[in-house]
Amino acid sequence: MKSAQTIANDVRDGSSSAVAELQRSLARIAERNDELNVFLYVDVEGATAAASAIDERRSRGEDVGPLAGVPIALKDNLCQIGIPTTCSSKILEGWRPPYSATIVDRLIAAGAVPVGKTNLDEFAMGSSTENSAFGPTRNPLDPSRVPGGSSGGSAAAVAADMTSISIGSDTGGSIRQPAALCGLVGMKPTYGLVSRYGLIAFSSSLDQIGPFAKTVGDAALLLEVIAGHDPLDATSLPEPAPSLVAHVNDGMAGKRVGLVRELYEGADESVVASVRAAAEALREAGCEIVELSIPELRLGLSAYYLIAPAEASSNLARYDGVRFGRRVDGEDVTAMMEATRTAGFGAEVKRRIMLGTYALSAGYYDAYYGQALKVRTLTIQAFARAYAQVDLLLGATTPGVAFKFGEKSNDPMAMYLNDVFTIPTNLAGDPAVSVPFGRGEENLPIGVQLLGPPRSEAQLFAAARVLEIADGRA
C-alpha cells in the first residue's frame, strides 16, 4: 500500500485515479477481512461514488484536496450519515445515524474516501478488541495475537494494507496501544484539538480522536486535516488546525527530552531496551536526555478506572430501549430496560457500568470518584512541572509486544495493565504519539511513546520522525 501522501499526489497529477486506488483497497479487504475481521461494514457503493466524483472533479481541473482519493477506514464509534454504526455492540446493531461526525465531513471535504467501519472493543472498552460483540480482530502481523484495543480494527486495517491511514479514538491509550502492537504511528492529540461531535461517547473528559498511519508524515497530514475548532463541540479549542506537515523534518537539535522511569519500569526487557535505544537516537540527533521520575504517574491506572467507568455509566444510560437501538420487550418499562441492557451489553461494558455507578453512588462518591479527581489534578501538575524542565518526555507505549488471544481476557487486571503507560496522558489532556522502534518477542514490533505539553503536536511529530529515520523505516 502506497503512503497517503503518495496516493494523493498521484491522484492530483493524474498518474493514478481515486477509483483505481479504491479498487486496490477493496481487493485487499476482500483478500484478508474474513481471516482478520477488521471491517464490520464495507461501503462499496458509497466509496465508489465518492471516488468517481473526485476523478470527475480532477478532470475539470478542480482542487481535490490534500487527501485526494485516499481510502480511509473509520472506527465504528464515529457516526457517518446512513452508514451502520454499532460501537461493536448488539445494543446498536442496525442503527444508521441521521448525521455525520464533524471529522467525517472534514475528511470527505479533504478528498478522502471512507471505505467502511472497523471493529473495536465494545463502546471502546478494552485493550485487545476481544470484547467486540461481532468477534475479535486479529493482528495482521501474527493472526494468533491481538491487534490491541480498543481501536484494533483501525490499526489492523493499516497494518494489513487495506488502507494507508485510518481513524481511531483514544480514551486511555486506544490509539497508541494498538499502534504499538501493529507497528504503526498513532497519535492522541491535545484534548479539544479535534472535534468529537459525532463520536459516540465512552468517557467524555478523556476521549480524543486521532490518526493511524505507517509513516509520521501521513499521521501528521491526517491530523492536520481533522483538527481545528468546531462550534458543535463545546470542548473544542477556539483555534484553527495547527501546521504539522511543514514541521515533520524540523529535527530535535537543542531540545531537552525527559526519559521517565515510571513510563518504562516493569516493561519487558526488550521494551526497556528499545526505549533506551530511542533515547540514544534522540541524543545523537542533538537532544539532551534528562532522566526523570514522576511518581504521581503510578496512580494513573487507579484514577482512570474510577473516572472512566463513572462517565461511562452516565453516557451509556441513554441506551434504554426507548429512543434508538435494540429493544427487548418486558412486562413494564423497568423490565424492558433491564432486558434490553442484559441482551445488548457485553460483559466488559456491564462491568464498567457497575464500577462507575458504584463509584458515583451516595456514600461512595467522595471516597472514590472525588479522590480520583484529586489524583487527576496531581497528574496534571506533575506533568506541568516536568515540562518546565524539558520539551518532551519519552517512555514505553506498552509493557510488551502483542499477546496471544485469551492470554489476558480472563484477568481484567492483567488486561487493564496494558494501558499503564498511556493512561496518564489522557488524564492530563496532553498529546502523545507512539512510533515503532525496535523489535521484541517473535520479531514483533515495539512502540515507544513521546509525550508533550498541550499543543505540542508539531514537535512530537518532529521527534517521531527522528526515531522513524533512526529505526530505518524512512
CB 213 within 8 A of CB 164: yes
Exposure b/e, 370-379, CB count within 10 A at least 16 = b: ebbbebbebb
Does the annotation mark 408 as catalytic? no
Could you give the 3-state DSSP secondary structure of residue 62? coil
DSSP string, 134-173: T-PPPBTTBTTB---SSSHHHHHHHHTTS-SEEEEEESSS
* Of residues 212, 152, 166, the one with CA closest to residue 188: 212
Report the C-alpha gap between 352 and 306 in whole angstroms: 9
| 114: DSSP letter | E
- Grid cell, residue 410, equals 480472563
Cβ-based neighbour number of residue 315 at 10 Å: 18
101: left (phi over 0), alpha (psi -120 to 50) or beta: beta
153: left (phi over 0), alpha (psi -120 to 50) or beta: alpha
Exposure b/e, 436-454, CB count within 10 A at least 16 = b: bbbebeeebbbbbbbbbbb
The alpha-helical segments, DSSP class H, found in 285-409 are 300-315, 333-344, 347-360, 371-389
Does the annotation mark 154 as catalytic? no
Report the C-alpha gap between 348 and 336 in whole angstroms: 21
How do beta strands 445-451 and 432-439 pair? antiparallel
Set 25, 75, 236, 456: catalytic member:
75
Does the annotation mark 205 as catalytic? no
Set 25, 174, 274, 456: catalytic member:
174
199: left (phi over 0), alpha (psi -120 to 50) or beta: beta
Q: For residue 122, what is the enclosing H or E element?
A: none
C-alpha triplet 310, 197, 433: angle, nearest 5° = 75
Set 150, 195, 313, 409: catalytic member:
150
- Residues identified as active-site: 75, 150, 174
